[in-house]
A and B are shown apart, each in its own frame.
Chain A
């Protein structure tokens, strides 16, 4: 029974397309995150939602839009995909940040833009 799940695991698409990645957590956590791991292997935060409210929005192109329909879900929609968007995207969740520091990660979605 996976704690943090992401779909799809692999995504290959062409430049200019629009795609979505879905994330679900069954840990009862209040906060969810999206991270990007680029070709140099750096893990960098993109967004964070707490109780469906956006609390972290790093310098990310407007083509990226997170959506949180409820506390257990945080989806990432990407418009007009570019070659540089190719990366592994990780979803994570944690308790309310004031009370818990450990973040639990999903298995990642490898996005390849051709």
Chain B
């Protein structure tokens, strides 16, 4: 039972355009959502997060949107750069113990 799903295994975007990565969740108890970026042979690195009491959080080229009624969040990258090419994981937190539930990741490829 996968509580966090990233239904697009891959996304290909032209440099300079917008990249939109999507994530759906089923557990209403999730109170915090995070996006991680992962390069091959490295661990995931934290990118941006959003609390369940907000609907948008922005950090430079990265914006995360949360639609609680639809149980959906998305990560927008504008403008996309070739260095953004990586696997992006969506994660959600349920309890105060810090347990994160991850999606299966989306491979983003940004073409020059």
Contact = CB atoms under 8 A, between A and B. Distances in A.
Task: Decide whether A and B assemble into one complex.
Answer: yes
Interface of A: 4, 31, 33, 40-45, 48, 50, 55-56, 90, 92, 94, 97-98, 101-108
Interface of B: 2, 32, 34, 36, 41-46, 49, 87, 89, 91, 93, 96-102, 104-105
Given A42-B104, A103-B100, A105-B36, 9 more contacts: A31-B98, A40-B104, A43-B102, A56-B99, A92-B43, A97-B96, A102-B46, A103-B46, A104-B45
A45 B99 contact: yes
Secondary structure class of chain A's binding surface, majority of residues: strand
Nearest to A97: B98
Contacts, number: 58
Given A101-B49, A102-B49, A33 B44 contact: no
Secondary structure class of chain B's binding surface, majority of residues: strand
Contact of A101 (B34, B41, B87, B101): B34
Contacts of B99: 45, 48, 56
Nearest to B89: A43
